[in-house]
């Protein structure tokens, strides 16, 4: 099979990392199939951003899969718990943050695996990062390897001798490196959305962990962040 005809499933959140991953997969010659999981986020902004990114990336098909994790709870992102705010990256609490969503990446990868198998693809891209988000257990290389092993046991495709690859090209990259890669590949970061707690006017709060890491990434890369912040 020629490289150009290979299909890949991209987990597309609408954030900076997954937009970069989509650009990497496209640059690798894959035909892109995007999966956005609408998991009971507090706001529509991430989904809008995912749709905008999908549109500009020439994606063959974009599936938005609702999975309302609020029924399960256990996270500041899916239950009624305040998102923590800090003045800068150094003040972000150590350990696993309360924005951790139980088993999120396992759920996302499972759905991506189903999508991949349904379209005869064995390549899945996910924008996890073990550097800036070291607090999340399901962003570590060992987790990705374990899922890859599982995927081959879990599926008809795997049982028939095909081998799934879970691509996580950003896993060892810093935020500023990610931004530099994306800019080189033409990503428009003005379309992306990272904030956990945006204002009603759709401005990023600038003080949640996700905003702080993003702002520091742009500062380190020496590039202006096209997204608007309150602070």
Report how far Cα 217 is from the mean position of its chain's Cα atoms: 16
How many Cβ atoms from other residues are within 10 Å of residue 134's Cβ?
A: 13
Quote the tokens at residue 148.
């890859």
Report how far Cα 64 is from the mean position of its chain's Cα atoms: 14
* Region of 15-23, 142-150, 192-200, 218-226 interacting with a second copy (CB under 8 A): 142-150
Of 107, 50, 41, 44, the residue nearest 75 (C-alpha): 41
How many Cβ atoms from other residues are within 10 Å of residue 56's Cβ?
A: 14
Note whether 117 binds a second copy by CB under 8 A.
yes
Q: Which residue, 103 or 223, is less far from a second copy as judged by CB?
A: 103
Note whether 133 binds a second copy by CB under 8 A.
no
Q: Which residue, 17 or 117, is less far from a second copy as judged by CB?
A: 117
* Binding string, residues 7-46; x marks residues near a second copy by CB under 8 A: ----------------------------------------
Q: Which residue, 117 or 225, is less far from a second copy as judged by CB?
A: 117
Residue selected from 82, 153, 161, 201 as contacting a second copy according to rule CB under 8 A: 153
* Residue 78 DSSP symbol: T
* Binding string, residues 66-105; x marks residues near a second copy by CB under 8 A: xxxx-xxxxx--------------------x---xxxxxx
Cβ within 8 Å of residue 71, ≥6 positions away: 40
Walk across the sheet containing 165-167 and list its strands. 61-66, 31-38, 7-11, 123-125, 165-167
* Region of 43-51, 83-91, 133-141, 200-208 interacting with a second copy (CB under 8 A): 133-141
For residue 125, the cross-strand partners are 10, 167
Residues interacting with a second copy, by CB under 8 A? 63-69, 71-75, 96, 100-107, 109-111, 113-115, 117-119, 137-138, 140, 142-143, 146-147, 149-151, 153-156, 158-160
């Amino acid at each position: 099979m020629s490289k150009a005809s290979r299909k890949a499933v991209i987990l597309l959140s609408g954030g900076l990392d997954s937009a970069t991953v989509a650009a990497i997969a496209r640059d690798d010659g894959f035909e892109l199939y995007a999966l956005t999981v609408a998991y009971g986020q507090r706001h529509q902004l991430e989904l809008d951003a995912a749709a905008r990114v999908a549109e500009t990336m020439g994606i063959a098909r974009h599936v938005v899969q609702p999975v309302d994790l609020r029924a399960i709870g256990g996270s500041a992102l899916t239950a009624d718990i305040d998102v923590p705010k800090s003045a800068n990256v150094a003040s972000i609490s150590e350990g696993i943050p309360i924005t951790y969503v139980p088993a999120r990446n396992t759920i996302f990868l499972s759905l991506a695996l189903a999508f991949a198998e349904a379209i005869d693809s064995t390549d899945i891209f996910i924008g996890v990062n073990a550097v800036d988000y070291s607090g999340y257990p399901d962003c570590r290389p060992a987790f990705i390897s374990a899922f890859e092993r599982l995927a081959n046991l879990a599926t008809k495709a795997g049982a028939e001798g095909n081998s799934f690859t879970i691509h996580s090209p950003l896993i060892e990259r810093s935020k500023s490196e990610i931004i530099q890669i994306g800019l080189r590949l033409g990503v428009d970061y003005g379309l992306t959305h990272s904030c956990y707690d945006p204002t009603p006017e759709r401005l990023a709060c600038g003080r949640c962990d996700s905003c702080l890491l993003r702002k520091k990434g742009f500062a380190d890369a020496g590039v202006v962040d096209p997204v608007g912040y309150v602070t």
